[in-house]
Copies of this chain bind each other. A is one copy, B any other.
Amino acid sequence: MKLKGNNYLEMAALVVFLLVFQYGIAQGHPRLIMTQKGVQEIKSQLGKVPLFDNSVAEVKKEVDAEMALGIDVPLPKDFSGGYTHERHKKNWLIMQKAGALYQILGDKKYATYVKEMLLAYTKLYPTLPLHLQERSYARGKLFWQALNDANWLVYVSQAYDCVYDFIGAKDRALIEKDLFKPFADFISIGSPQYFNRVHNHSTWGNVAVGMIALVMDDAELLERAMYGLKEDSVPAGMKDNDGGLIKKPGQKTGFLANVDEPFSPDGYYNEGPYYQRYAMYPFMVFAEALQNTKPKLKIFEYKNGILIKSVYALLNLTNSAGEFFPLNDGQKGMSYYSRELVSAVDIAYLYGGKDPSLLSIAEKQGRVQLDNSGMAVALGVKNNLTKPFVKKSIDLSDGSDGKQGGVAIIRNRNKDKELTLVMKYAAQGSSHGHFDKLSFSYYNNSSEVLQDYGLARFVNIEQKGGGNYLKENTTWAKQTIAHNTIVQNETSHFGADFETGSQFSSKKYSYDVSNPKVQIISATEDNAYPGTKMHRTMVVLETDDFENPLLLDIFQVNSKTANQYDLPFYYLGQMMSANFKYETPKILEPLGKSFGYQHLWKEAVGKSSSENTKFSWLYEGSFYTLTSATSPDDELLLVRLGANDPNFNLRRDAGFIIRKKNTQKSIFVNVIETHGSYSPVTENAVNAFSAVANVEVVYEDENYVAVSIKNNKGKVSLFILSTMNNSATQNHNIEIKGKTYSWVGTHYYTLIK
């Protein structure tokens, strides 16, 4: 029997319930991530599979070092970054690893260590009040937020499972009665505003309860994990610390609801890759545990195999260094080298059909999870089954139905140079979403050409607001002006109102990468500013006329009223040149008063002086030039982040803003060129100058827009977009400058000279 999708949730509930009672929980321990059979297989291969053996050795080294320091289960008091927080966190990680080592190596010292630590927690836990720090909407007991308590339980359930038999019935009874059952009750019944929602936080909660349920064979807890609390006392409209709504009326909850809702059919998670990565671990290990204990559930086939798909989505949401695109609240630098992705890749390999391309990711990761999935991966690598994981252009839909916009990633790879466009036309992205409709970022390999700022937070660094979200995350990072997209009248999309933003998503107009030389994503947004329609079309254009592919950006805006439109480009590195005149003020003032504008210093103010505005910069050895088809009255601003930042929480990054004032209908056309190179060792500047001679809007009416690009040798190409009809089979026919162009489909690209 196979469960299918969203609409069958009621039926699925019944089915699971029956399965639990019909088949019962698998006998014996371990049974979650490790299984008795699995352990036997692992033991038989020990010493023969380098990647696995190295991972065992590494874990052993880490655990032995920690064990030498002795057990410390301190009275909780600190925020993340502080001692007690980090200690309890370390404890959960080391317990889980020690449990695995006990199973694999059979050395009782590891089991003893876990047992003693569990007994220490068993002694401590019943004495604990709510955590002293009051910041969280759902405080924990070991940690300042229930979320971290749930993290603890997800890992410690695995440790307990591994040493279950070793501990003995009497101590088990005590541990379950004083620690695990009240722990599971506290993070569920005791924290309904945390447990009973659809959010990455709650996924951890659901899985924590589910994992310990599976170990303890507790059907009631398992049902709670799968379907949430039947009743809760969450007041309507209650919000979390990030301003996120706890629960919509009638919202389904529990693990399956957390699989159903945030994932799109393509495996995109609505909060973005950073949080998808975070949630991936509980999703995947619980799925693995369910597969081991309840194979008939076929959890990996649930919703068309969404869990496996989501691993692929995540891997595609990385730059060439494996770092996730920092969409929404994402901390830069997080990558598929994280422990969550090691686990996810291993599980996806074993339970997703042993795709050999996943082995190449595992090889880069250089370590595996200490279970059967890790062994399967290590064996695959040993047996030379590895194939490259080739990241292609991909359009990931957003929304549980796949109809709430999406994120398009367009890649062009040529030799060692991979240019990557990330265009976001998604839904709000839950409480971690940013007000950044139709924004984009652009990469040259792992080098950020035009950046997405990411979040204003230093995760787990206590000096910076306890490692939590900083005020500037709201006042800057979430605001529209912090992104490479249009801001109308210095006000963020939806007035930066989360509820309003959550009602809408942008709409795909066209995504077409069938021609690898003309890859296009086009999307519209009609709700960010009531009465204003925005349409952005971005094309990665590979042509012989230029050294590297160009990024063509056509941003049309049309409003019922006259407005000011700002389109920023956040570049990194050193400005090289600008072809327009500008003034640099003697004193620096903020660009505005609110919606993030208060954080930007106005470093220079200019006006476009010719038909094309050019701005060049150098970053990490490559030159870049933005050529813009500007109008004579366009204002050009050079800005620098850092105003109104009393705690120095913001990076001093730079931006270039094109501003059009007092206009109803407007078009921004920009070409971003990657050219040349510079090395401080050879001191050779190669192709340091732009090769774009001219960018021109040669045609625009209600139905079409056409842009020509001329290079410095006189070669001219033309891109035409049908702006009112996105049918792939429609015939088009227009005359531009005396010449007729005919084609089929949404867009047309040709050399004309």
Chain A contacts to B: CB under 8 angstroms: 81, 86, 331-335, 337-339, 458-464, 467, 574-577, 584, 586-590, 601, 603-604, 616, 618, 638, 640, 642-646, 648, 651-652, 654, 678-685, 688-689
In the docked arrangement, what's the CA distance between A589 and B601, Å?
Answer: 12
In the docked arrangement, what's the CA distance between A338 and B679, Å?
Answer: 10
A337 proximity list for chain B (CB < 8 A): 681
CB closest chain-B residue, reference A334: B680
Question: What are 10 contact pairs spanning A and B, CB under 8 A?
Answer: A86-B684, A334-B683, A460-B684, A461-B618, A461-B685, A463-B688, A584-B645, A586-B590, A604-B648, A652-B654
Judging by beta carbons under 8 Å apart, are B646 and A331 in contact? no
CB closest chain-B residue, reference A83: B689
Judging by beta carbons under 8 Å apart, are B81 and A688 in contact? yes
Q: Say how far A674's CB is from chain B's closest CB, in angstroms.
A: 16
In the docked arrangement, what's the CA distance between A331 and B574, Å?
Answer: 14
A679 proximity list for chain B (CB < 8 A): 333
Consensus secondary structure, chain A interface: loop
Given A334-B681, A462-B688, A683-B459, verify A642-B640 contact (CB < 8 Å).
yes
In the docked arrangement, what's the CA distance between A685 and B576, Å?
Answer: 36
A648 proximity list for chain B (CB < 8 A): 574-575, 603-604, 638
Q: Say how far A1's CB is from chain B's closest CB, in angstroms.
A: 40
Judging by beta carbons under 8 Å apart, are B461 and A681 in contact? no
Given A81-B685, A331-B680, A681-B334, verify A646-B584 contact (CB < 8 Å).
yes
Judging by beta carbons under 8 Å apart, are A603 and B642 in contact? yes
In the docked arrangement, what's the CA distance between A459 and B688, Å?
Answer: 12
Besides A333-B679, A587-B589, 9 new A-B residue pairs in contact (Cβ under 8 A), listed by A number: A339-B682, A458-B618, A459-B680, A461-B618, A462-B685, A463-B577, A463-B688, A464-B576, A588-B588
Judging by beta carbons under 8 Å apart, are B588 and A587 in contact? yes
A589 proximity list for chain B (CB < 8 A): 587
Q: Say how far A640's CB is from chain B's closest CB, in angstroms.
A: 7
Judging by beta carbons under 8 Å apart, are A681 and B333 in contact? yes
Q: Say how far A139's CB is from chain B's closest CB, in angstroms.
A: 21
Instruction: Please pick, from B335, B338, B461, B652, the residue contacting A688 in the complex, using a CB distance under 8 A.
Output: B461
In the docked arrangement, what's the CA distance between A456 and B644, Å?
Answer: 29
| Copies per complex of this chain | 2
In the docked arrangement, what's the CA distance between A260 and B679, Å?
Answer: 33
Identify the interface centre among A334, A645, A685: most chain B CB within 10 Å of its CB: A685
In the docked arrangement, what's the CA distance between A222 and B584, Å?
Answer: 54
Q: Say how far A263's CB is from chain B's closest CB, in angstroms.
A: 24
Identify the interface centre among A86, A332, A576, A646: most chain B CB within 10 Å of its CB: A576
A603 proximity list for chain B (CB < 8 A): 642, 648
Instruction: Please pick, from B338, B586, B601, B682, the residue contacting A682 in the complex, using a CB distance under 8 A.
Output: B338
Q: 7 tightest A-B contacts by CB? A: A333-B680, A588-B588, A575-B648, A463-B577, A463-B576, A461-B685, A459-B683
Q: Say how far A553's CB is from chain B's closest CB, in angstroms.
A: 23
In the docked arrangement, what's the CA distance between A183 and B646, Å?
Answer: 62
A588 proximity list for chain B (CB < 8 A): 587-588, 601, 643
Q: Say how far A450's CB is from chain B's closest CB, in angstroms.
A: 17
In the docked arrangement, what's the CA distance between A589 and B575, Å?
Answer: 22
CB closest chain-B residue, reference A650: B574
CB closest chain-B residue, reference A332: B680
Instruction: Please pick, from B339, B587, B601, B616, the residue contacting A463 in the complex, using a CB distance under 8 A.
Output: B616
A689 proximity list for chain B (CB < 8 A): 462-463
Q: Say how far A602's CB is from chain B's closest CB, in angstroms.
A: 10
A587 proximity list for chain B (CB < 8 A): 587-590
Given A464-B576, A689-B463, verify A681-B335 contact (CB < 8 Å).
yes
Judging by beta carbons under 8 Å apart, are B334 and A685 in contact? no
Identify the interface centre among A338, A574, A640: most chain B CB within 10 Å of its CB: A574
CB closest chain-B residue, reference A584: B646
In the docked arrangement, what's the CA distance between A646 and B583, Å?
Answer: 8
A643 proximity list for chain B (CB < 8 A): 588
CB closest chain-B residue, reference A654: B652
In the docked arrangement, what's the CA distance between A688 and B466, Å?
Answer: 12
A616 proximity list for chain B (CB < 8 A): 463
CB closest chain-B residue, reference A341: B681
Q: Say how far A84's CB is from chain B's closest CB, in angstroms.
A: 14
A458 proximity list for chain B (CB < 8 A): 574, 576, 618
Q: Say how far A650's CB is from chain B's closest CB, in angstroms.
A: 9
A638 proximity list for chain B (CB < 8 A): 648
In the docked arrangement, what's the CA distance between A463 and B576, Å?
Answer: 6
In the docked arrangement, what's the CA distance between A588 and B587, Å?
Answer: 5
Q: Say how far A745's CB is from chain B's closest CB, in angstroms.
A: 40
Q: Say how far A350's CB is from chain B's closest CB, in angstroms.
A: 23
A684 proximity list for chain B (CB < 8 A): 86, 460
In the docked arrangement, what's the CA distance between A643 and B601, Å?
Answer: 12
In the docked arrangement, what's the CA distance between A333 and B337, Å?
Answer: 28
In the docked arrangement, what's the CA distance between A584 and B616, Å?
Answer: 32
CB closest chain-B residue, reference A333: B680
A461 proximity list for chain B (CB < 8 A): 576, 618, 678, 685, 688
In the docked arrangement, what's the CA distance between A576 and B460, Å?
Answer: 12
Q: Say how far A573's CB is from chain B's closest CB, in angstroms.
A: 10
CB closest chain-B residue, reference A574: B651
A575 proximity list for chain B (CB < 8 A): 648
CB closest chain-B residue, reference A601: B588
A577 proximity list for chain B (CB < 8 A): 463-464
A601 proximity list for chain B (CB < 8 A): 588
Given A652-B640, A652-B652, verify A460-B681 contact (CB < 8 Å).
no
In the docked arrangement, what's the CA distance between A685 and B331, Å?
Answer: 14
In the docked arrangement, what's the CA distance between A616 and B654, Å?
Answer: 24
Q: Say how far A298's CB is from chain B's closest CB, in angstroms.
A: 33
Instruction: Please pick, from B460, B586, B645, B680, the residue contacting A685 in the complex, using a CB distance under 8 A.
Output: B460
In the docked arrangement, what's the CA distance between A588 and B339, Å?
Answer: 44
A338 proximity list for chain B (CB < 8 A): 681-682
Judging by beta carbons under 8 Å apart, are B463 and A683 in contact? no
In the docked arrangement, what's the CA distance between A590 and B585, Å?
Answer: 11
Q: Say how far A621's CB is from chain B's closest CB, in angstroms.
A: 10
A683 proximity list for chain B (CB < 8 A): 331, 334, 459-460
A681 proximity list for chain B (CB < 8 A): 333-335, 337-338
In the docked arrangement, what's the CA distance between A645 and B577, Å?
Answer: 13
In the docked arrangement, what's the CA distance between A692 and B319, Å?
Answer: 40
CB closest chain-B residue, reference A617: B648
